[in-house]
Amino acid sequence: MIDIKELNKEDELVILEEGLKSRFWEVFTARYQHMIFTTMGAALSERTESREWTAGKATGMKDALAYPATRVRNLRTMTKDKKEE
């Protein structure tokens, strides 16, 4: 297991970029997106008292799926700023 504290930003960027281009990520994203849409649909049809929880779950799943791409963008900005200094 990687110790995230010992991983520099450049290495993390390379690892995430490779992962986002992988076949694994394509399959994972396709399956996870389906689960997100199903959960969103369930949130819209839930009883009022549990709708917020189900909607929160869908939002959390959506955010988790977007995290690698968001982190890549942030790392690119950080490494670009570091090179310009």
* Domain locations along the chain: 25-80
Tokens of 7: 């991983």
- DSSP conformation class of 4: G
Three-point CA angle 58, 12, 63, nearest 5°: 10
Tokens of 11: 């290495």
| Cα–Cα distance for residue pair 34/20, rounded to 1 Å | 18
Per-residue pLDDT of the chain (85 residues; tens, 9 = 90+): 888 889 999 999 999 999 999 999 999 999 999 999 988 888 888 676 788 888 899 999 999 999 999 999 999 998 887 766 5
Q: Is the pTM of this model over 0.75?
A: yes
Question: Residues 54, 43: contact at Cβ < 8 Å?
Answer: yes
* Nearest by Cα to 20 from 74, 69, 63, 70: 69
